[in-house]
Chain A
Amino acid sequence: MKGWFPLLLTVALALALVFLTLPVIAIFVDSSPAELVESLGEPGALDALWLSLRVTAISLAVILLVGTPAAYLLATRAFRGKALVVTLVELPLVLPPAVAGIALLAAVGPSGILGGAIDATGIELALQTAGVVVALTFVASPFYIRQAMASFASVDRTLLDASRTLGASEARGFLRVMIPAALPGLAAGTALALGRALGEFGATLMFAGSFQGITQTVPLAIYDRFSTDFESALALSAVLVAVSAGILLSVKFVQGGEALGIAAR
C-alpha cells in the first residue's frame, strides 16, 4: 500500500459506484425480462412510450432549430449584458421541476400573463399534448444551448475566417464550417437535452396534467402505476434506464468519449 490517500480515493469511488448503480440494478433484479416485456404489452404503457417518443422528438426539433443559432450568437459575439443573457438562458437548468411547472402556469397557463394572448390564437396548452412539449422544451433546452455554446466557442475561428476570405457568407460559414466542426459537442448537447426531456416529470404533471395517450408520458405513467401495479412501473422504468444508457453509450461511441468530456467542462 502506497499510503492512505490512494486508498481514500478508491474507497470514495467504490462508495459512489455502489450508491449510483445499486438502485438501477434493483430495477432489473425484481423482474425477469419476460415479465418486463409482458407488462409493456399493456395499452397504457404502450401509449405512454409512444407519447414520450413523440413529445421528446418534437421538443428536440424545436430546441435544435432555435437553440443552435442562438448558441452560435452567444458563442461568437461579444455584447453588453451577455453574461446576464447567458445566465438567464441557463437558469431553467437549476430550477426545481415544481418551480418550472408553477412558472409555466404563471406565464402561459390559462390565467397566466400570456394566457389571454395564447387563448386568442386558439392554441390550448394546459392539459394538452402541446403543453407537454412546452414543459419539455423549457426544462431541456438549456442543456443543449449551454453545450452548443461551448462547442461553437471551442471551434478554431481561423476555419470560419478562411471560409469568409474565400467569399462565403456568414450563414454559409455557419452551416458548412461551424456546425460540422462543432458536431461532436452538438450531439452531446442533444443527448443531454434528450435525457432530460425523456425524464421530465414535475413540470409536466403540474402544467399538462396526466392523461393516457394525451399527456401521460412514461415518467407520469410510472408514478401512476406505483400504487397499483408495481411490476408495470418497474417495466417502464427499465425501458427508461435502457434508453438512457443507450443515449449515453451511443454518444460515447460516436465521439470516442470526447464529447462527454466537453459536457463535463
Chain B
Amino acid sequence: MRRALAVVLCALAGCGGGDDEEPRLVVSAGSSMSEALTECGRDFEGAAVRLSFGGSDELAAQIRQGVKPDVLASANTSIPEELHAEGLLSQPVEFATNKLVIAVPAGSDIRETADLRREGMTLVMGSESVPIGSYTREVLDRLPGGEGDVILGNVRSEEPDVKGIVGKLIQGAADAGFVYLTDVTAAGDALEAIPLPSVIQPDVTYAAGVVRSAKQPELAREFVAGLREGGCADALSEAGFGEAP
C-alpha cells in the first residue's frame, strides 16, 4: 500500500526515473515561439524536451532568481546579452528574426498606424519589460509629430506576454495591438496583420544561449545549434520567422 502510494505520488510529481530514461532538456522560451518550438521540441533526438514559455523578461528573472533551465531562447538579443554579461548564460546565438505588425480582428477597418490615433480606440500592447513591449515603444517613438503619444493614450492594457495581447484581440476586447507577424499567422483567420512602414520597423532578432550550470550542457548546445540549422530552424521558418543574419 505504502509503495503504491509512493509510486502514484512520484508519477504525479514527476520524480526522477530509472537510468534507461531519456535525459530531460528544459528550455525556457519567449511566448511568441510556443507554436513553432512545441512541434520541433517533440522531434528533438537524445532528450525529452520540456518547454516553458513566458515573457522573455520573466524567464530571465527566473534565471536570476536561481531557476536553472538548460536553454534560454529570448525574443530579443538584449536579454541574453545581459545574462551573458552577468555570467549566467553562454555567448548568445542569434537564430531567427521576426517582424512587428499591427494585429486587428478580422474585418476591422484599421489600415495604418494613423488609424490607431482615433478617439475611443482600445489598444493593447506588451508591458515595457517584455521584448514585444519594448519593440512597440521603439516603433511609437519613431512616429512623427507626437503620434506615438496619442496612440499610447489609447492603450488600455499592458500585457505580460504576446499571448495576452493575442487573446484580448481574438476575444474582441481590444481593437488593435502590436504583436509579431508570426502570432497573427498562428492565430489563423481570427486576426489580420497590418505591416508597419519599413522606416519604423524595429530589428526583431531572437537569440538563445546555454544557461550556466545547465544539467545537460551538451544537449543544450545541440538544441541551440538546431535553432539555427536543423529541425527547429525548419519549424521556425515554417511558422513565419525569418532567418538570422
Contacts and interface: CB of A to CB of B under 8 A. Distances in A.
Nearest to B128: A228
A164 B55 CA distance: 62
A224 interface: yes
Nearest to A105: B171
B157 A209 contact: yes
A210 B157 contact: yes
B217 interface: no
Interface stretch (B14-22, B27-35, B135-143, B159-167): B159-167
A19 to B, nearest CB: 15
Interface stretch (B56-64, B84-92, B109-117, B223-231): B56-64
Interface in B137-182: 155-160, 164, 167-168, 171-174
A209 B159 contact: yes
Interface string B89-133: 000000000000000000000000000000000101001111000
B104 to A, nearest CB: 14
Contact of B157 (A111, A211, A227, A228): A211
Given A226-B58, A227-B55, A227-B61, A109 B171 contact: yes
Interface residues of A, number: 24
Interface in A202-225: 205-206, 208-212, 214-216, 223-224
Contacts of B174: 126-127
B124, B157, B159, most chain A CB atoms within 10 A: B157
Nearest to A112: B171
A253 interface: no
Contacts of B158: 209-212, 216, 224
A210 B171 contact: no
A109 B124 contact: no
A115 B122 contact: no
Interface in B195-239: none
Contacts of A227: 55, 57-58, 60-61, 129-130
B65, B124, B164, B172, most chain A CB atoms within 10 A: B172
A211 B156 contact: yes
A173 interface: no
A223 B155 CA distance: 19
Interface of A: 105, 109-111, 115, 126-128, 205-206, 208-212, 214-216, 223-224, 226-228, 230
Interface of B: 55, 57-58, 60-61, 65, 122, 124, 127-130, 155-160, 164, 167-168, 171-174
26 contacts: A105-B173, A110-B173, A111-B172, A115-B172, A126-B168, A126-B171, A127-B156, A128-B156, A205-B160, A205-B164, A206-B164, A209-B124, A209-B157, A209-B159, A209-B168, A210-B160, A211-B155, A211-B156, A215-B156, A215-B157, A216-B158, A223-B160, A227-B57, A227-B58, A228-B57, A228-B61
